[in-house]
Structure 1
């Protein structure tokens, strides 16, 4: 009584991987922002035991740094997109 709609196939997985790669090529700053955020969090966790700060202050600094990196990456992505749309390949109307 197994349904063919619920079965897993590698073609579905490949399609998702291709979609992710295609989206990453279209806007490369989103994966860069995510990687930077994870790197900041990993660095913050690593430094957690080596610092004399209170835990709450350290976590606030980590959060602000990670959010700042993500906002910067999103801003750079928007600027890159505007450059491609309006300067590099302007539309002829």
Structure 2
């Protein structure tokens, strides 16, 4: 009975850094999307004072839409590339044999 709990608890021994690295290897476009999101938000905050005649709410809405669009685009591109690689790699491996 003790061995069952040891096996199930072994996944909790993984640290936060190693878990993040493992997840990034499984889906590399998610950290890219997160980094892009952070970069767009930082740029929007930097340009906040020099927005000209644009209202604050409009500026913030544009930055939110840009950041969300970058994240969705990165995730969509990652999924598309994953589907393409799953489709073509078995065919190419079959033709090479």
Segment drifting more, 21-30 vs 33-42: 21-30
Flag structure 2 segments of 5+ consecutive residues without an equivalent: 1-11
Q: How much has 1:30 moved relative to structure 2?
A: 0.3
Please give the alpha-carbon distance, in whole angstroms, between the structure 2 residues aligned to 1:71 and 1:45: 21
Alignment correspondent of 1:3? none
Flag structure 1 segments of 5+ consecutive residues without an equivalent: 1-10
TM-score calculated relative to the size of structure 1: 0.75
The count of corresponding residues between Structure 1 and Structure 2 is: 80
TM-score calculated relative to the size of structure 2: 0.73
Listed as ranges, the matches of 1:1-93 within 5 Å are: 12=13, 15-52=15-52, 53-89=54-90
Please give the alpha-carbon distance, in whole angstroms, between the structure 1 residues aligned to 2:22 and 2:81: 17
Alignment correspondent of 2:6? none
For residue 49 of structure 1, give the secondary structure of its aligned residue in structure 2. Answer: coil
Q: How much has 1:19 moved relative to structure 2?
A: 2.1
For residue 32 of structure 1, give the secondary structure of its aligned residue in structure 2. Answer: helix
Please give the alpha-carbon distance, in whole angstroms, between the structure 2 residues aligned to 1:83 and 1:33: 20
Q: Which runs of 4+ in 1 moved over 4 A?
A: none
Please give the alpha-carbon distance, in whole angstroms, between the structure 2 residues aligned to 1:73 and 1:15: 26
In our comparison, the structure showing a higher alpha carbon Rg is 2
